[in-house]
Amino acid sequence: MTNTQHALSWKNYLALCKPRVVALIVFTVIVGMLLATPGLPPLSNFIYGIVGIALSASSAAAINHFIDQKADAEMGRTKGRPLPMGELSSWHVLTFAGIIGVSGILLLIIKINILTAFLTFLSLIGYAVIYTVYLKKMTPQNIVIGGAAGAAPPVLGWAAITGEVHPHALLLFLIIFVWTPPHFWALAIARREEYAKADIPMLPVTHGVEFTRLQILLYTILLLITTLLPYLTGMSGLIYLVTAVVLGIGFIYFAVQMMRKKDNKTAMRTFGYSIVYLMLIFAALLIDHYVPVTLS
């Protein structure tokens, strides 16, 4: 095999892992780890936890590629993926997913704790099987129900450091859980024709674009309320509170703009903002944790 073929092969395997998605997952895992302790977490738990959870998330992503390969081939956004392009076979993908998935879970069992390994395994099954195989094709509420798997990473990070699921970790879970529907539905509006062609019952396909825009607005309002809980429960302070309010109002602004302009460009701008929103609000949690500010 030539160097070019080797590079292409590794590029395809990397694409299976959905690196941008996994990077966001790892970021929320790290935030969960750092919030779990007043100081810095043990270095071994920090490193092994990140690697184990990242491998498991990458495995789930690869399984998603395998299961969705026919639908991916019909959608402009995904038709360039390795399986639709014929760059990798189904056997290659499943073998790769199995190796990194088992490696990730075993690493968590051996180096972290059983609870983190168990919860990570549940998240893998929740996304790769329950969501991808069943929910995605069964109901327009697929994102709402399946969002539980995507909201788990900060809980996994917390458990990797403390060996328990703390109520504050569940608040992090709740934020991502409520964030997920407006995040994905904005994309679904812009790509609704592709989802319809692939026979995936996303909300704008089954209930129309106007209804979906209203749901996005309602969820962004609910999200703003939800993000106040870390401050109201004493988990976070003023830095986080101000950031959450400003970012939340910004998200609502984009949702209102979607109600007014009704074009795909605005929907994609909202989708893009939602990603920045999640990164910044978790960064604010982290900054507030280490730089506490109180009213005098």
Reported as a single tens digit per residue, the pLDDT across 136-183 is: 888 888 888 888 888 999 999 999 999 999 999 999 999 999 999 999
Out of 165, 189, 209, a domain closes at 165
From the list 115, 124, 109, the residue with the least C-alpha distance to 54 is 124
Q: Is the full-model pTM beyond 0.85? A: yes
Helix (H, G, I), strand (E, B) or coil at 151: coil
Q: Packing angle between helix 43-67 and helix 19-35, nearest 10 degrees?
A: 150
Backbone angles phi, psi at 81, to 5 degrees: -70, 160
Q: Rounded CA gap, 243 and 237, in Å?
A: 10
- 65-82 exposure pattern, b = at least 16 Cβ within 10 A, e = fewer: bbbbbebbbebeebeebb
- Check whether residue 15 and residue 161 sit in a common domain: yes
Mean pLDDT, residues 214-218 taken together: 97
The answer to whether 134 and 141 have CB atoms below 8 angstroms apart is no
pLDDT at 7 over 70: no
- Check whether residue 121 and residue 192 sit in a common domain: no
pLDDT at 2 over 60: no
- Check whether residue 12 and residue 96 sit in a common domain: yes
Mean pLDDT of the chain: 91
Lookup: tokens for 193 = 């024709």
- Check whether residue 139 and residue 7 sit in a common domain: yes
Backbone angles phi, psi at 278, to 5 degrees: -65, -40
**Residue-level pLDDT at 63:** 92
Sign of CA pseudo-dihedral 62, 66, 68, 73: positive
- Check whether residue 139 and residue 216 sit in a common domain: no
* pLDDT band (50, 70, 90) for residue 285: very high
Tell me how far the alpha carbon of residue 162 is from its chain's centroid. 22
The predicted-structure confidence for 83-97, as pLDDT tens digits, reads as follows 888 888 899 999 999
The answer to whether 213 and 259 have CB atoms below 8 angstroms apart is yes
Out of 132, 165, 198, a domain closes at 165
The answer to whether 161 and 49 have CB atoms below 8 angstroms apart is yes
pLDDT at 253 over 70: yes
Q: Rounded CA gap, 62 and 292, in Å?
A: 40
* pLDDT band (50, 70, 90) for residue 293: low
- Check whether residue 272 and residue 143 sit in a common domain: no
Tokens 């939602």, residue?
274
Backbone angles phi, psi at 41, to 5 degrees: -75, 160
Which amino acid would we find at residue 95?
T
Mean pLDDT, residues 45-71 taken together: 93
Q: Rounded CA gap, 127 and 51, in Å?
A: 19
As a whole-number percent, the residues of the chain with pLDDT over 70 amount to 96
Q: How many domains does the chain have?
A: 2
Out of 118, 142, 165, a domain closes at 165
- Which residues are within 8 A (CB) of 13 and not within 5 positions of it... i.e. 6 or more apart? 82, 88, 96
Q: Rounded CA gap, 257 and 255, in Å?
A: 5
Burial class (CB in 10 A: 0-12, 13-18, 19+), 129: middle
pLDDT at 292 over 90: no
* pLDDT band (50, 70, 90) for residue 1: very low
pLDDT at 5 over 80: no
* pLDDT band (50, 70, 90) for residue 6: very low
Domain containing 66 — which CATH number?
1.10.357.140
Q: Rounded CA gap, 64 and 135, in Å?
A: 13
- Check whether residue 191 and residue 230 sit in a common domain: yes
- Which residues are within 8 A (CB) of 208 and not within 5 positions of it... i.e. 6 or more apart? none
Sign of CA pseudo-dihedral 234, 239, 241, 243: negative
The answer to whether 121 and 139 have CB atoms below 8 angstroms apart is no
Mean pLDDT, residues 187-193 taken together: 93
Domain residue limits at 13: 1-165
Least confident segment among 107-121, 192-206, 209-223: 192-206
